[in-house]
A and B are shown apart, each in its own frame.
Chain A
Amino acid sequence: MTALRLLARDPVAFLGLLIVLFAVIVAAFAPWIAPYPDDAFESHIMQRLRAPSAEFPFGTDNLGRDILSRVILGTRNALAVAVTVVLAAMAIGVPIGLAAGWREGWLSESLMRVTDVFLAVPQLILALALGQLLAPGITAAMVALALTYWPFFARTVFAETRRLRSSLFVDALAGIGASPARILFLHVLPNAAPAVLVRATIGMGFTILTAAILGFLGVGAAPPSPDWGLAVAEARQHLPEAWWFPTFPGLAILLLVLGFNLLGDGLRDAADPRLRRSRR
C-alpha cells in the first residue's frame, strides 16, 4: 500500500488515477448514467446532427442519437476491450518471460527470438489482415492486439527475472534449499509484479488508442455499437458543420488514454525499488 500512498503524493499520477477510476465508474453504471440508454442501438432520424443543447449536452449524431449517451456507453466497450486484450497478452507474455528469464540456453534463446519476431509485426497491419481472415469485427481486432502486445510483457518479465535470478535473496533461497518452483512463483513473480503492473497500465491506454484506430479504419467495432473510434470515423462526412460529433468521442479517447499513461508513469516511479529503498 506504500505504492498507493506514494501515488497520492504525486499529483499528476493521482490525476491519472482519478481519470481511470472515473472511467471505471462510468463504465460500470453506464446504462443508468446515460440520459438515453436506448440510443446505443436506436436511431431518431428526425433529430439528427443537433448542436449541443440542454437536451443533448454533447449534441446528436448523424442518426439522431445522443452523443453523451454513446460516449458513456462506449466507455464500457473501450475498457472491456482494453482489459481483455491486456489480460490475454499477460497470459501469454508472463509465462514466456519467466521461463526464458529463469533458464539459460536454447529454450531461453528461442523464446526470446520468437518474442522479437512478434515485436517486429506491425500491429495495425496484422489487425487488418486478421480482420480479412476472420471477418472484420471487434473479436479480430482484440486477437490482433493481444498477439502484438504480449511480447512487451515477455520482455519486461524476462528482464526482471534475469535481474532477480542473480539477486542475493534468490541465491540465499537456493542456499537454504528452496526449490526452483518456490523461488519462481513465490519470490520472482511477486517481485516482478510492479513492473508488470506498470506495463499493463500503459498497455491499457495503448490498447484503447489502437482499438479506436481500428474502429476508425473500420476493422474494429461494427455499427451500431457505441464505439469511440467508429464515431470519429462516421463523423468525418459531417465536418466541419457538426464539429461536436467527432470532438466528444475524440476527447473521451484522449482523456482515458492520458489517464492510463499518467497512472502508468506514476506507478513506475512508485514501484521503483531504488526509490523505495532510498526512503528508509
Chain B
Amino acid sequence: MAEILGCSALRVELGARRGLLRHRAGVRAVDGVDLSIAEGETFGIVGESGCGKTTLARALLGLQRESAGEIRLEGRRVSGLDPRAARRVREAVQYVHQDPGAALDPWWRVGATLAEGLAIHGVTARAEQQARIAETLAAVGLDPALADRYPHELSGGQQRRIGLARILLLRPKVVILDEPTAGLDLSVQAAVLRLLRDLRARFGLTYVFISHDLSVVRRVCDRVAVMYLGQVVEEGTAAALFAAPRHPYTRALLAAAPHLDGRESGPSLPGDPPSLAAVPPGCRFHPRCAEAREPCAHTVPVREAAGPDHAVACLRWREVA
C-alpha cells in the first residue's frame, strides 16, 4: 500500500527558550522517529504517559514545529515550515482531541462550531453549510437537532461524535485520534469504535490511533508502533506484535493490561515512567528492563527486522525471544 503520511528522523523539542539573557535547552519529546503510515490503514501508537505520543501527533499535524527530520504527506515533503504554513499544507490531516468536550467553545452552539470549520475552509454559503452539517451529523449517528445544543448539554459519547463530525466536515484523508476511548464506558466505547470503523470505510480515511488501552489497539489497529521516551522501540502488524512481542518493554506493557480472565502473565514493570529531562544513556529502557545486560547501558540499539513487517530496537531481542 502507498504511504500517505510518514516521517524520518523526526525530532521535536519542547520547552526550549531562546531569550536575550537566558538560553534554555528543551527536552526531546520525540527523538528520531521513523514512521510510514499506509493509505487506508489504522496505525496505532501506544506507550505510557509522557512517552511522546501526543507530541508526535501534534508534529505530524503541524501544530508543533519539528526541530529536525522530515515529514511527508502524500509523497510531498511538508516539514520545515512555520506553524501556520505547516498547518495549511497539511489540511488533509486532522486531529481529534482526547477530551472532545473541552475542544468545543463552551459559548458556541455545536452547530455554530461545526459551521465555523466550514467557513474557515471557504464554505460560506449558509445552505451548503447546513446541508453538509446535517449529512455529517447523520454520518456520525447524531440527531441533527443536537446542533442547537451547547457542548455541556451533550453526553461524553455525543461530544466525541461531535468532535469527529467537526473534522469530517473538512474532508480529511488522515485523522489522528488521540485516546479516542479514554474515559468512555464500555458500551459507549464499543459504539464509538464501531462508528470509527464505519467512517473509515465510508470516507476512505486513514487513522493514526493514539491509545494506552492495548486491548482496544489490538482490536482496531492494523499496525502498531510502541513508543518509549520519545523513540519507537517496536513496530509491526498488530497481529505479529501482539502474538510475539519482541521488545521487553512491549512485553511488559502487554502483561500489565488487565484481562477479563484475571490472568497475569509475564514480568511486571517496576518503577515509574522516567522523565524526558533525564534520558538514560544506551538503551533508554535499560534501567527498568529485566533483561538488561551490561552493553545495554552504553550501546544505543538500532532498529532491526524481527520478521516480515516487524521491527524492534533492542540489543537482546534474539536472546529474549
Contacts and interface: CB of A to CB of B under 8 A. Distances in A.
A191 B63 contact: no
A169 interface: yes
Contacts, number: 59
A169 B152 contact: no
A47 B236 CA distance: 100
A122 interface: no
B106 A191 contact: yes
B63 A171 contact: yes
A167 B166 CA distance: 17
Given A175-B61, A177-B88, A280-B153, A168 B102 contact: yes
Given A175-B63, A176-B94, A169 B105 contact: yes
B152 A177 contact: no
Contact-residue size bin, chain B (C-beta under 8 Å from the other chain): 20 to 34
Contacts of A178: 116, 120
A174 interface: yes
B104 to A, nearest CB: 6
Nearest to B169: A176
Contacts of A277: 106, 152
Given A168-B103, A169-B103, A191-B105, A276 B120 contact: no
A191 B97 contact: no
Contacts of B141: none
A172 interface: yes
Interface of A: 167-169, 171-179, 182, 186-187, 190-191, 273, 276-277, 280
Given A169-B104, A172-B103, A182-B120, 8 more contacts: A171-B103, A172-B104, A173-B105, A177-B87, A187-B105, A187-B108, A190-B107, A280-B153
29 contacts: A167-B102, A168-B99, A168-B103, A169-B102, A169-B104, A169-B106, A171-B97, A172-B103, A172-B166, A173-B105, A175-B87, A175-B94, A176-B117, A176-B120, A176-B121, A176-B166, A176-B170, A177-B87, A177-B120, A178-B116, A186-B116, A187-B105, A187-B107, A187-B108, A191-B105, A191-B106, A191-B107, A273-B106, A277-B152
Interface of B: 61, 63, 87-88, 91, 94-95, 97, 99, 102-108, 116-117, 120-121, 152-153, 166-167, 170
